[in-house]
Amino acid sequence: MAGNWKMYKTAAETTSFFEKFRALVERSEHCEIVICPPAPNLPAAIAGAQGTRVGIGAQNMFWAKEGAYTGEVSGAMIRSLGCSHVIVGHSERRQYFGETNESVLKKTLAALDAGLTPIVCVGETLEHREAGQTEAVITDHCQGGTSGLSAEQFSKILIAYEPVWAIGTGKTATPEIAADAHRMIRAHASSAFGQEAAKSLRILYGGSVKPDNIKGLMAQPEIDGALVGGASLDPISFASIVNF
């Protein structure tokens, strides 16, 4: 279960989130828990999560190891803080910051190189869905974002299916729609990396996941977890998603 805080919370708010959240997930051993705060608050999150099973991830990184790239951070910098994960290719980054399949692939490889687990995001817009292009877009994102990976590298990544029309809109994909898309992702993984790789791939659903719809989503065997935006900002709400 992963929380994506997007551009919300100060360092002090991060600390107070963890003061409450720690106790609420103390006994939650059925899943991995990851929270991805904005980059400046990674140290506060890591300190807040110390001694718990909660992993901390970044929301983005650059693919170069170092260099004259004003405003960017590298995988090694994130890793050296104590982060375990990084989100790559979130639709908001594709939409507003020019992220492409090519940059997603480069960042995924760089994240693996730095010892981070990339959460690679794929998903169609409403226009794609209405034009019957859902499968084509999902396949294109999977293909473009993972085609340069070896089977061993592929076994270390997570994929998040996030239909753009469901993100922050309150419109969750039905469990059936989400499961259908997850099957497409698994089918692509199977043809690119083999059946075993597809079977062990973990695919998270993201898009308006809330405490009251998580059970239905997780009842689908195809859905292995969730990437939660808005509902991960409140400790009680995110804990009730984790402890669905």
Residues that bind ligand PGA (CB under 6 A): 4, 162, 167-168, 206-209, 227-231
Distances (CA, A) of 196 to 29, 154, 155, 159, 161: 25, 11, 10, 16, 20
Nearer CB in complex with ligand PGA: 48/211: 211
Least distance CB 209 / ligand PGA (angstroms):
5
Annotated active-site residue 162? The verdict is yes
Nearer CB in complex with ligand PGA: 142/228: 228
Nearer CB in complex with ligand PGA: 2/189: 2
Q: What would the DSSP string read from start to end of 82-147?
A: T--EEEES-HHHHHHS---HHHHHHHHHHHHHTT-EEEEEE---HHHHHTT-HHHHHHHHHHHHHT
Catalytic residue among 32, 85, 90, 141: 90
Catalytic residue among 162, 182, 188, 222: 162
Annotated active-site residue 90? The verdict is yes
Nearer CB in complex with ligand PGA: 74/208: 208
Q: Where are the alpha helices (DSSP H) in the chain?
A: 11-24, 42-49, 75-81, 91-96, 101-113, 126-130, 134-146, 151-154, 175-193, 195-200, 214-218, 235-242
Least distance CB 210 / ligand PGA (angstroms):
8
Least distance CB 73 / ligand PGA (angstroms):
19
Least distance CB 160 / ligand PGA (angstroms):
7
Chain Cα centroid distance, residue 242: 15
**Catalytic annotation, residues:** 90, 162
